[in-house]
């Protein structure tokens, strides 16, 4: 379009009509530009960047040199490395094919058919399946990241509580002092399965050690952690569980009978040795960007609950989760609709690098 033709299109229009027309043209140009940009997937809790190169090298070496050999079924070297890291005996560490496998094994060991597994809800979608596979009953506790609500939900049939802390998908967090209150008040027949897959993103850097300090005084506490999230090693499927004194026999039952693969063991050991600076940088990024999103949301018709995880639980009053998901998708950002965990109002969005947060905020601005 030539310059004369460009201005001629506005002939006979009022200033307001010209403004509206220019705004619509700009919006259309942006829609066309976004259609040529690959959508940004913020629907997952796993880390978006590639693993540390030294970890990749360790896994590659294990694949090339040891794939024909059976791995150490006890994962002794890895258990020793984790024990040194967290300050407990290796006999109180069990290694599994991801924290999820260990959580499932713990549920089958502790919760018998017809008994109850309490689950603060909404939470990690694996938990109800764990109860189902054990022949037990999953008992959701709405708003259950609250000590009083959890204790009120305990019955004589309750055998365990599966607590994701900080929670996926809401980011809710029960601090160690409140966890101690919960553990002190639980009946003797109830164990606490504390899933700390996202604990590295908690603002208080003392949080990981503070929860571990509860183990010595609470024999019914098991703490589950993973290399899948902040380490960015979800493809290795390697996690571990920690127990207090006297938990050794139970922990041995939770580990896979033939152990985890040698590549996973090698990658996890190397990650412990070399990834501290990388983990610290990722943690700092999530904490800073999480705060930035929450601050910017004040200018938008979106609500977000406080979060201590690498996710935010967003709601747009008046919109369903499906509609909000669709609007953000049109803006080039993929999120998880809360309908996947039975919530019709919220969506879960991952907090990643600043450039990704910029795209999220832009998609949110254009969604309304």
8 A C-beta contact, residue 293 and residue 351: yes
Domain boundaries, the chain: 35-49+277-366, 53-274
pLDDT at 19: 73
* Distance of alpha carbon 259 from alpha carbon 184, whole angstroms: 34
Q: What integer pLDDT is reported at residue 91 of this predicted model? A: 97
Chosen CATH of 53-274 out of 1.10.3470.10, 3.40.50.170, 3.40.640.10, 3.40.50.620: 3.40.640.10
Q: Which residues contact 256 (CB under 8 A, 6 or more apart)?
A: 73, 96, 97, 101
* pTM for this prediction: 0.89
The hierarchical CATH code for the domain 35-49+277-366 is 3.90.1150.10
- 194 - beta bridge partners? 163, 223
Q: Backbone dihedral region of 308: left (phi > 0), alpha (psi from -120 to 50 degrees) or beta? A: alpha
Q: Which of 58, 63, 104 lies closest to 78 in space, CA to CA?
A: 58
Nearest to 324 by CA among 295, 356, 302: 302
| Residues in the chain, total | 368
Per-residue pLDDT of the chain (368 residues; tens, 9 = 90+): 555 555 455 566 666 665 777 778 777 777 676 566 799 999 999 999 999 999 999 999 999 998 899 999 999 999 999 999 999 999 999 999 999 999 999 999 999 999 999 999 999 999 999 999 999 999 999 999 999 999 999 999 999 999 999 999 999 999 999 999 999 999 999 999 999 999 999 999 999 999 999 999 999 999 999 999 999 999 999 999 999 999 999 999 999 999 999 999 999 999 999 999 999 999 999 999 999 999 999 889 999 989 999 999 999 999 999 999 999 999 999 999 999 999 999 999 999 999 999 999 999 999 99
Check if the beta carbon of residue 51 is closer than 8 Å to that of residue 228.
Answer: no
- The region, left, alpha or beta by phi > 0 then psi within -120 to 50, assigned to residue 135 is left
Supply the DSSP symbol for 57: H
Residue in the structure block whose two tokens are 């540390």: 52
In this predicted structure, what is the pLDDT of residue 28?
77
Number of Cβ atoms within 10 Å of the Cβ of 35: 10
Nearest residue to 290 via CA among 121, 145, 173: 173
């Amino acid at each position: 379009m030539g310059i004369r033709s460009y201005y001629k299109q506005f002939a006979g229009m009022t200033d307001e009509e010209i403004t509206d027309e220019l705004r619509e043209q700009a919006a259309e140009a942006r829609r066309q530009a976004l259609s040529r940009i690959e959508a940004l997937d913020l629907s997952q809790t796993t880390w978006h960047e590639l693993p540390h190169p030294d970890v990749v090298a360790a896994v590659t070496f294990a694949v090339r040199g040891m794939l024909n050999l059976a791995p150490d079924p006890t994962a002794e070297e890895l258990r020793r490395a984790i024990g040194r890291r967290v300050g407990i005996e290796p006999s109180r560490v069990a290694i599994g094919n991801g924290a999820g496998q260990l959580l499932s094994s713990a549920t089958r060991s502790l919760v018998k058919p017809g008994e109850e597994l309490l689950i603060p809800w909404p939470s990690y979608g694996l938990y109800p399946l764990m109860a189902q596979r054990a022949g037990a009953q999953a008992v959701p506790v709405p708003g259950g990241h609250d000590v009083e609500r959890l204790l009120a939900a305990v019955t004589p049939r309750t055998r365990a509580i599966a607590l994701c802390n900080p929670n996926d998908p809401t980011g809710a967090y029960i601090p160690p002092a409140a966890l101690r209150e919960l553990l002190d008040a639980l009946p003797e027949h109830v164990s606490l399965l504390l899933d700390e897959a996202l604990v590295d993103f908690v603002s208080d850097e003392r949080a990981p050690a503070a929860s571990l300090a509860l183990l010595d005084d609470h024999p019914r506490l098991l703490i589950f952690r993973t290399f899948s999230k902040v380490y960015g090693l979800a493809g290795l499927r390697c996690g571990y569980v920690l127990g207090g004194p006297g938990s050794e026999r139970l922990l041995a039952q939770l580990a896979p009978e033939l152990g985890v693969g040698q590549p996973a063991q090698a990658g996890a050991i190397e990650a412990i040795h070399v990834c501290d600076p990388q983990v610290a940088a990722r943690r700092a990024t999530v904490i800073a960007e999480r705060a930035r999103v929450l601050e910017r949301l004040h200018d938008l018709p979106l609500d977000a609950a406080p979060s201590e995880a690498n996710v935010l639980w967003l709601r747009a009053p008046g919109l369903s989760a499906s509609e909000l998901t669709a609007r953000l998708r049109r803006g080039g950002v993929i999120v998880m609709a809360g309908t996947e965990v039975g919530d019709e109002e919220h969506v879960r969005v991952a907090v990643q690098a600043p450039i990704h947060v910029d795209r999220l905020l832009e998609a949110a601005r254009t969604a309304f």
